[in-house]
Chain A
Amino acid sequence: MTDVTTPEQLAKAKRAANLAKRYRSERRFRAFGMAAVLTAMGILGFLMTSIVYSSIPAFTHHHLTLDVVVDESRVELMVDDNNQTSVDGNWLGLVRASLRAHFPEVTSRRDKRKLYGLLSIGAGDGLAQMVNDTPSLIGQTVQIDVPLSDDVDLLIKGLIDRTLPEQDRLISDLELSWLDKLTADGLVHRAFAWALFNNGDSREAEMAGLKGAFVGSLLTIFVTLLVSFPLGVLAAIYLQEMAPKNRLTALIEVNTNNLAAVPSIVFGLLGLAVFISFFQMPRSAPLVGGLVLALMTLPTIIIATRASLASVPPSIRQAAMALGASRIQVIMHHVLPLAMPGILTGTIIGLAQAAGETAPLLMIGMMAFIVDTPTDVTAKATVLPAQIYMWANNPERAFVARTSAGIVVLLSFLLTINALAIILRKRFEKRW
């Protein structure tokens, strides 16, 4: 009678089994939670790594060192009314001629065109700049680095597989042999791709840069700040400090919160219908873009400002009032300065959001192909995210790296803005 189990023992065993099950389920639940956190962080890591990794090729470009004869017969020195000299000439032709000097055996038209195809379309720009800076170079031989075309650059970087059969490759065997000769002569070298930061947009990947879009972004954000900051702060002061509690202010409050959740593309439609179609403001202008983004950012600023105002303790207000300050004096002289760090932090975060926004700007035409850097808020312009969008749509291979590089620049820009907000908060925030 040793293996007789009493009801008590049975219940105990059942409880133990049950407990083990419950503990297992506890561990499982915990593991799920941990997995979710790791998934979210891992995705962020993967996203960042893949973008940074694919951007690396765009930060350098291969150049060819050439001795170019600045032939007097092919350039023209001009002096305008203000005694400013400028030199005009077929710069690309000069550069190409000097490349051909390395390959005297290339004579047929087709081969020549292929040979010239090794160079970027913008290969003459550097020479033009150089000779314009020092016109005395005319007639002399100058040594200059000219950019190679994007496909050649990709090939040297190993992003185009040179072992592929010729018909599957963008670069033919003949071009490859020329390139090998130039490389063997030590004329090809890698340099930092300044074009990415100094140039405007271009159809050629190696010449395309972010300068125009960056300036466009700055102008747009400037307009946004100018409009949304004063309006947002004034509105928030009224709603938080002065407004009577009635139906109307309740309506404004609900409305502000709802506006914060309206999809950004709807603001683009508003901008198109009101600013462009009705008020006939110019398309693609930072002015209109800035106004649209300002309306979008307004709720963010109002909400942040109200929170910041609410965190100033009432004792400050009471003390100021006891000394005879008027309501507006209390707010302007005491509450607002104390709330300012929080207000600025909220504003900066709102502006960072606006700086990364694309959809509403597509509606008002801020994704046109614009080479020049915009100079004022009514000029045609594009912004960084829109530039990234346009590059992402470009089927050429070299634009993939270009796009990633644009994203890296945009993210660094946003990171800087946000870091500013964090510093501001850490430095000036008061805990009551």
Chain B
Amino acid sequence: MSLSFLVICLAGLGLYSFFFGRHRIRAISRQSELKQHSQDTYHGSFLLICTTLLPLFILIIWSSFSPLILNAMLRSKLDILAGPLSVGEMGVQLAQAKALYAGIINPAFVGDSVKQAAAYYGELVSMSNTARAVLVLSAAVAGIGYGARLLDVRFRARHRVESFAKWLMILASAIAVLTTIGIILSLIFESLRFFDKVSLSEFLFGLQWSPQIAIREDQAGGSGSFGAVPLFAGTLMITLVAMLVAVPVGLMSAIYLSEYASPRLRNIAKPTIEVLAGIPTVVYGFFAALVLAPLLRNGGNDIGLTVSSESALAAGLVMGIMIIPFISSLSDDVINAVPQNLRDGAAGLGATQSETIRQVVLPAALPGIVSAILLAISRAIGETMIVVMAAGVAANLTANPFESVTTVTVQIVMLLVGDQEFDSVKTLAAFALGLVLFFITLGLNVLALYVVNKYREQYD
């Protein structure tokens, strides 16, 4: 029985149990003289939970783990059928057997062992699906039976349903934590395997990054090198360029809009600037790579500069544009939070408006602004599409923004895009870079929070 049909069956049973429960409690209640504890709907909902909870659990667990088990069984079957296989051959044959079962490849192109394995796999899949359907449906029916016997006038259905709802909510809030744990564990786990092969100090302090590892041992250009310093330097340079654009423009427009602008201009300009934040990054990437980079290159040629067509400048400028609304709206909030009587006091002492802003408002808002800038830096470091499209791939260690540099995120994408063995050093290197990225951005966020909490003035 296919998954979607099973889900529909289960939903149908659930719906039935709800109405059945409601109907049944009414019948019981009519014959009883006691006052009914919970409303009819709660009895129906209770029965619905009894019917669907366990089957759903079984369904999810079975569907998540059965591919793993089936895969392992297919692997051992192939071992028997085709004799001992190397890791690469095994991968190929596994994929072939599955593709043959799915009908994607022509049976004429594969060997006999793969055909037998595919047939075996087909049997396994149908057996697993049947077992799943039987288990799920019988659990549902048993659930109805169990729940229906509990229904009674004095049965506290509402309490049961509400405590179930509460546990569901707790579970949902735990998902966010589980995601973080999942991120940290998967990154650390894969990174540890990477650091088995490449030492931590080589990764963090090495100056040479060329991850192109030979596929076979004997191929020329044998081992790659994984010194990530050029990537960190490239990321830093692009982030620096981005900040040089975003901080002045973002901050000044926030100041102008909150201190000088008429309400009309503010109502037009603020949403317009925020549109910049809603544009997908792939659009910025396109703009950087196909509009700005040629402009910069030609402009550079005209004044006698050699600007690479994948220069750090183009990527950084466009990233700066992307970050402008981030800085301006966060700064706008903190500037607006500075109480008006500080401004009035400064004006009363004879300060001009710009003196008030520079000497009173900005110092008061400084912790918030610094934290906004830190968050913006974290955003810039983690930004991917702009640099993937506009920055280079080659890891140059240079301080010249007209040259091409590469970043951490670009390398993660380059290492992982395309099919390859999950265990290769290249793939693992991407996770190590991801780990660095995660902790740097996390650190910046925590720092931003700390700055705000520690230095914020309370004006109430």
A residues whose Cβ falls under 8 Å from a Cβ of B: 22-23, 25-26, 28-30, 32-37, 39-41, 43-44, 47, 50-51, 54, 230-232, 234-235, 237-239, 242-243, 251-252, 255-256, 258-259, 261-267, 269-270, 272-274, 277-281, 283, 295, 298-299, 302, 326-328, 352-353, 355-359, 362-363, 365, 367, 385-386, 388-389, 392-393, 400, 403-404, 407, 410-411, 414, 418
Contact = CB atoms under 8 A, between A and B. Distances in A.
B182 A264 contact: no
Contacts of A51: 283, 286-287, 291
Interface in B405-460: 409, 412-413, 416-417, 419, 422, 430-431, 434, 437-438, 441-442, 445-446
Contacts of A37: 252-253, 256-257, 261, 265, 269, 273
B283 A302 contact: no
Contacts of B176: 235, 252, 255-256, 259, 298-299, 302
B385 A262 contact: no
Interface of B: 64-65, 67-68, 71, 158, 162, 165-166, 168-177, 179-180, 182-183, 186-187, 189-190, 248-253, 255-257, 259-261, 265, 269, 272-273, 275-276, 278-283, 285-287, 289-291, 321, 324-325, 328, 352-355, 357-358, 375, 378-379, 381-385, 388-389, 409, 412-413, 416-417, 419, 422, 430-431, 434, 437-438, 441-442, 445-446
Interface of B is mostly: helix
A352 B179 contact: no
A362 B249 CA distance: 32
A54 B279 CA distance: 17
A389 B282 contact: yes
Contact of B291 (A29, A50, A258): A50
Contacts of B385: 358-359, 385, 389
B442 A36 contact: no
Contacts of B68: 278-280
Contacts of A28: 354
Contacts of A251: 177
A273 B269 contact: no
Nearest to A239: B173
A357 B186 contact: no
15 contacts: A26-B354, A29-B357, A36-B249, A36-B252, A40-B253, A43-B276, A44-B273, A261-B379, A264-B384, A269-B430, A273-B186, A298-B176, A356-B279, A359-B385, A386-B282
B253 A280 contact: no
A51 B183 CA distance: 36
B282 A385 contact: yes
Residue among A232, A235, A299 with the highest chain B CB neighbour number at 10 A: A235
A23 B354 CA distance: 9
B389 A392 contact: yes
A230 to B, nearest CB: 7
A222 to B, nearest CB: 14
Residue among A28, A33, A327 with the highest chain B CB neighbour number at 10 A: A33
Given A252-B177, A279-B67, 7 more contacts: A37-B273, A41-B272, A252-B173, A261-B375, A269-B434, A359-B409, A388-B282
Contacts of B413: 265, 359, 362-363
A263 B278 CA distance: 16
Contacts of A231: 172, 175
Nearest to B166: A242
A33 B445 CA distance: 28
Contacts of A363: 412-413, 416-417
B421 to A, nearest CB: 11
Residue among A22, A269, A278, A393 with the highest chain B CB neighbour number at 10 A: A269
Residue among B65, B256, B281 with the highest chain A CB neighbour number at 10 A: B256
A255 B278 contact: no
B293 to A, nearest CB: 12
Contacts of A353: 278
B353 A26 contact: yes
B22 to A, nearest CB: 17
B417 A263 contact: no
Given A238-B172, A328-B166, A411-B283, A40 B249 contact: yes
Contacts of B352: 22-23, 25-26
A328 B160 CA distance: 12
B162 A326 contact: yes
B325 to A, nearest CB: 8
A40 B276 contact: yes
Residue among B265, B328, B445 with the highest chain A CB neighbour number at 10 A: B445
A56 to B, nearest CB: 15
B382 A36 contact: no
A400 B287 CA distance: 11
A37 B262 CA distance: 13
A328 B167 CA distance: 12
Given A400-B290, A407-B283, A43 B321 contact: yes
A359 B280 contact: no
B285 A266 contact: no
A263 B381 contact: yes
Contacts of B273: 37, 40-41, 44
Nearest to B418: A365
Contacts of A22: 352, 355
Nearest to A28: B354
Contact of A263 (B173, B280, B383, B431): B383
Contacts of A357: 280-281
Contacts of A34: 256, 260
Nearest to B427: A272
A244 to B, nearest CB: 11
Given A270-B186, A326-B162, A41 B172 contact: no
Contacts of B158: 326
Nearest to B354: A29
Residue among A37, A280, A388 with the highest chain B CB neighbour number at 10 A: A37
Contacts of A232: 172
Given A36-B248, A39-B249, A367 B384 contact: no
Contacts of B180: 255, 258-259
Residue among B169, B256, B325, B378 with the highest chain A CB neighbour number at 10 A: B169
Contacts of B65: 279
A280 B73 CA distance: 14
